[in-house]
Structure 1
Amino acid sequence: MTMSVTPKKAIRVVVWGENRHEQINEVVRGIYPDGMHATIAGGITELLGDDVTVTTRVLDDPEHGMTEELLAETDVLLWWGHTAHEEVTDEVVDRIQKHVLEGMGIIVLHSGHHSKIFRRLMGTTCSLRWRNDGSDRELVWTVSPRHPIAEGVPQPLIIPGQEMYGELFDIPDPDELIFISSFTGGEVFRSGITYRRGYGKVFYFSPGDEVYPVYHHPGVQRVIANGVKWAYSERERESYLVTPMYLPGGFDRPVLGSPDGLVDYYTRELIEPRENAG
């Protein structure tokens, strides 16, 4: 008897990049000639291979590349932004938040801490201390060594040149603290943190200023690839914003009202015609 094997589903990843520094800054263009988003995407593909399909989008794409159709087919979204946060429309932010709440994973990188979508998900200013004088070395210390995002990451992960981010980082208390970074000036920073928002997972990882080759760093690429695997959910996307109703005695069967009557929350099948509904 031959048993059929269901092929493993590849994680559908989209890397979003602001893609502005690469157009105007020769230093950045020299480090990332195809854009930071392309380097980040390449690292994910190299490490995860056939387990992922990776595409990229940028700010200047129609609808910033974040169409409803694309987001509905995205398992994990990565976001890098810096100087043009306010150019991202609120309509697109609403759309991304909806998909995160319904189960899409999101990884926010470096200056994305001030992006509209990260501030929306956090509900705070997400402000921090910073310094960028070209003299800082970052040591990324793993404080949760058994977390899947930390698997295979050097201890510490040494980044020879990097912008300093320091506390206070105005964010809600993380669900999980995975990495803490230290800098040459004595500053420390919660550089790898996770949250759950609705059915979706959120991972913020801070290393990645554009004038340093951070996204070429094998250790950084490993963290990001691990983050993709962690943020992915095998659970089917599910409406989060609709509040279901529960009938007496039906504590495990949520229902919704419709013009035809009551429908099952999950299947949307009619279970009680309107003439019979109370």
Structure 2
Amino acid sequence: MSSHIKVVVWNEFRHELEDEKVKQIYPKGIHQVIADYLKKEQFHVETATLDEPEHGLTNEVLDRCDVLIWWGHRAHEEVKEEIVERIHKRVLQGMGLIVLHSGHFSKIFKKLMGTSCNLKWREANEKERLWVVAPGHQIVQGIGPYIELDQEEMYGEFFDIPEPDQVIFISWFEGGEVFRSGCTFTRGKGKIFYFRPGHETYPTYHNAEILKVIANAVRWAAPVDSAEITFGNVKPLEIIKSIEVGKTS
């Protein structure tokens, strides 16, 4: 049940404080809009921002977090390495991670992907159509064949990421480009979903379908109860019968 899933919505929370246009769209921050929706969906939700001590992501916060949602843009380099390592460890242990929009350049996403995560981009108020290419996936439950956004920032291929476990959305933009806008990955026991839309100067996170996808992704990414992963030397489960070379029974 959703009420058992504990979510932390993380946001830089810089644009909303310093850019009047962004402030008008998200007066309490992008994180708060997403958090308010998830609370209505019966998730247990906390928020955290860049300028809080330890970026709001203390060991205590992450230890009780089932799914971390990440929105970052211009301050990726300000995220401390020790916090990145802390998140990385938790993902491998099973915490879900949902990376939104320009979070593709975050330290944690690049560390988990092992690539540059670079792409083409253009901000020109373009229409975006996100086509569902995995219609049976939990992340698109309740979503039609596509989601259409009247204005968004363009991201275009090639997107320098490792081959996803599954591509959920492919976007088409008015200028002609396409982009793998919804991709899933597994690292250790943790499930990761990258979801492209969400430029700060557009009201993308007020779109009901975009919010539904995020809520679906939280349910999908939540940890499952499974055995711990172990490594190193182990004793055999069965008795191993050895036969000396050159001898027959």
Normalization by structure 2: what TM-score?
0.92
Determine the structure 1 residue equivalent to 2:187.
197
Determine which of 72, 85, 88 is the counterpart of 1:94.
Answer: 85
Secondary structure, aligned partner of 2:6: strand
Determine which of 242, 247, 254 is the counterpart of 2:235.
Answer: 247
CA drift of 1:162 comes to 0.4
Cα 1:33/1:8, change in 2 over 3 Å? closer
- Measure, in 2, the Cα distance between the counterparts of 1:182 and 1:227: 21
Query: Runs (4+) of structure 1 moved beyond 2 Å?
Result: 242-245, 248-251
- Measure, in 1, the Cα distance between the counterparts of 2:4 and 2:172: 36
Contact residue 29 and residue 35 of structure 1 kept, 8 A: yes
Determine the structure 2 residue equivalent to 1:185.
175
- Measure, in 1, the Cα distance between the counterparts of 2:44 and 2:69: 13
Secondary structure, aligned partner of 1:160: strand
State yes or no: 1:38 paired with 2:32: yes
Contact residue 70 and residue 99 of structure 2 kept, 8 A: yes
CA drift of 1:244 comes to 4.0
Determine which of 10, 15, 20 is the counterpart of 2:4.
Answer: 10
CA drift of 1:10 comes to 1.1
Contact residue 41 and residue 55 of structure 1 kept, 8 A: yes
RMSD over aligned Cα, in angstroms? 1.6
CA drift of 1:249 comes to 3.6
Give the gaps of 5 or more residues in structure 2.
240-249
- Equivalent residues in 2 for 1:208-247, closer than 5 Å: 208-235=198-225, 238=228, 243-247=231-235
Contact residue 3 and residue 44 of structure 2 kept, 8 A: no
CA drift of 1:68 comes to 1.0
- Measure, in 2, the Cα distance between the counterparts of 1:210 and 1:156: 22
Aligned partner of 1:82: which letter?
H
Aligned partner of 2:158: which letter?
L
User: What percentage of aligned pairs have identical amino acids?
Assistant: 52
Cα 1:237/1:247, change in 2 over 3 Å? closer
CA drift of 1:247 comes to 1.3
Give the gaps of 5 or more residues in structure 1.
1-6, 252-278
